[in-house]
Amino acid sequence: MRARDIMTAPVITVRTETTIKAAAALLAEHGFTALPVLDDDDRLIGIVTEADLVRDRVPRDPRALIHLGRAPGAGPVTTTVGEVMTTPAIAMGPGTDVAVLAKALLDAGNRSMPIVEGSTLVGILTRRDIVRAIARDDDTIAADVRHRLEIYGSDRRWQVEVHDGVVSIADQFDDETDRHIATVLAEAVPGVVRATAFAARESDDR
Amino acid sequence: MDAVTTGMPAMTVGTVMTRCPVSVVAGAPFATVAAVLSRHGIGAVPVVDRDGRLVGVVSEGDLIGGRDGAGVTARELMSRHPRTVAEDTTLPAVVRLLAETGVRRLFVTEHGRLVGVVSRRDLLTTYLRDDDAIRADVERVLSDQPPLGVTVHDGVVLLLGRVEWRSTRAVLVERVRAVPGVVAVLDRLGYVFDDAA
């Protein structure tokens, strides 16, 4: 599995002069983990995460603000992305093996990896994308269950449906023992939450 | 500190938390944990015992390390002793805790039982409240005092002026610290009468 197979594109990005308030609004609105920062030539220059935005709001020693000479009553201070972002940003190419990318994310303690071709941002890949790829979707589970039930009768006998990991098996015959075995087989399939089997009615529409 | 004194009771984490969060048991297999994270769109899932007591947490990072999922359960994947808070913890205290510890979510427990979860993302807008809005709220909680100088920069509140009694200062600072969006309070208040005997 390569980065290009599971990355998200196009990517929502910000500029160095974007305010942290605007960046926070984007993160909250889209549920993103990080925003890549582009320069005036649309090249990747950095990345800003929720942690970067929040760190700015809890200064270690607030009394330092007084000694910096900011006069009380002076106008509001607007902080920009450029002041809090991480730069340069680590990035990888679209052909990168996802296992390599996962290790890079874990080693760096990062949650998202910008994907670039040269210095052009072409996508972004997060820990969540990798988990989604690991977690088995209903179609994959259904195919796996059908495959395992083949030894217990052709695919004409068993009709398998999977919804959110819950497997329903309709049995064209009416054999309770076989249905029990089918349930046990299905529940051994990775990703299955539970399985139930029942006798299909004659008047079922297909 | 009650509503009559302050005019504005501090919001608690119980007001904003997600109740009855999705969880898994320690024996849940790898594939189930992955499915739960993926289907619910969450970055980490709490692990509970049969009595609903919080025993650990499994995050995305614990799953993507490349280990073969076969035969692995939540018990082997989880981090133990996740950080927790009580339901009556004030929001500003939670916001500070999230910022200082760098964790992305706090589980809310009662007698060890998981009752809710609050994430840093949920409170992101609280961190970044407009200084003008914060100042208006601070002036309101101080409205029973003689006029005081209040300035707010990036959530840091500076209090200037003079109160009548020395003992009032600490009370006022606590009121101001409880205002949502306040990051820290710099107390430069003077007093007329010293009642701290």
| B37: phi then psi, degrees, rounded to nearest 5 | -60, -45
Give the closest-approach CA distance of B6 to chain A in angstroms.
Answer: 24
pLDDT of A142 above 90: yes
Residue B192 in contact with residue B165, Cβ under 8 Å?
Answer: yes
Query: Would you tell me how many other CB atoms lie within 10 Å of the CB of residue A83?
Result: 12
Grade residue A202 by pLDDT with cuts at 50, 70 and 90: low
Q: Dihedral angle at the C-alpha atoms of B135, B140, B146, B149, nearest 10 degrees?
A: 0
Grade residue A71 by pLDDT with cuts at 50, 70 and 90: very low
Is A138-199 in the same CATH topology as A3-134?
no
Measuring CA to CA, how many Å separate B157 from each of A72, B99, B182, B187?
10, 18, 7, 8
**Domain containing B149: what range?**
130-193
Model pLDDT, residue A57? 67
In chain A, the percentage of residues whose pLDDT exceeds 70 is 85
Q: Are residues B24 and B108 in the same domain?
A: yes
In chain A, the percentage of residues whose pLDDT exceeds 90 is 52
Model pLDDT, residue B192? 92
Say yes or no for a CB contact (<8 Å) between A59 and B184: yes
pLDDT of A67 above 60: no
Predicted TM-score of the model (pTM): 0.72
CATH of domain A3-134: 3.10.580.10
Give the closest-approach CA distance of A173 to chain B in angstroms.
Answer: 31
Model pLDDT, residue B106? 97
Q: Are residues B102 and B87 in the same domain?
A: yes
Q: Dihedral angle at the C-alpha atoms of B96, A61, B181, A55, nearest 10 degrees?
A: -70
Grade residue A122 by pLDDT with cuts at 50, 70 and 90: very high
- Strand (E) or helix (H) holding A37: strand A34-38
Q: Are residues B107 and B38 in the same domain?
A: yes
Q: What is the largest CA-CA distance in chain B?
A: 72
Residue after which a domain boundary falls, among B106, B125, B144: B125
Model pLDDT, residue B7? 46
Regions of chain B with pLDDT less than 50: 1-7
CB contact A29 to B (< 8 Å)? no
Residue B138 lies in a domain: yes
Which token pair is A91?
A: 């990035």
pLDDT of A60 above 70: no
A138-199 folds as Histidine-containing Protein; Chain: A; (3.30.1340)
A38-59: average pLDDT: 86
Q: How far is CA A21 from the centre of its chain?
A: 24
CB contact A153 to B (< 8 Å)? no
Residue after which a domain boundary falls, among B103, B125, B147: B125
Q: What is the spatial distance between Cα B122 and Cα A50, in angstroms, rounded to a whole number?
A: 11
Looking at the partner chain, which of A56, A103, A132 has a beta carbon nearest the beta carbon of B38? A132
Model pLDDT, residue B3? 38
Average pLDDT of chain A to the nearest whole number = 85
Q: Are residues B51 and B99 in the same domain?
A: yes
Q: Which of B182, B176, B184 is nearest to B128 (CA)?
A: B182
In chain A, domain spans:
3-134, 138-199
Model pLDDT, residue A90? 94
| B102: phi then psi, degrees, rounded to nearest 5 | 75, 5
Chain A residues with CB-CB distance to B64 below 8 A:
102, 105-106, 127, 130-131, 134
Q: Are residues B120 and B139 in the same domain?
A: no
CATH of the domain at B98: 3.10.580.10
Taking only the tens place, the pLDDT of each residue in A156-170 is 889 999 987 889 999
Residue B89 lies in a domain: yes
Give the closest-approach CA distance of A127 to chain B in angstroms.
Answer: 6
Looking at the partner chain, which of B64, B104, B155 has a beta carbon nearest the beta carbon of A57? B155
pLDDT of A119 above 90: no
CATH of the domain at B188: 3.30.1340.30
Which token pair is A33?
A: 């983990």
What residue of B is the nearest CA neighbor of A49? B121
Beta-sheet strands, E only, within chain B: 18-19, 24-25, 44-48, 54-59, 79-80, 84-85, 105-110, 113-119, 149-153, 156-165, 184-193
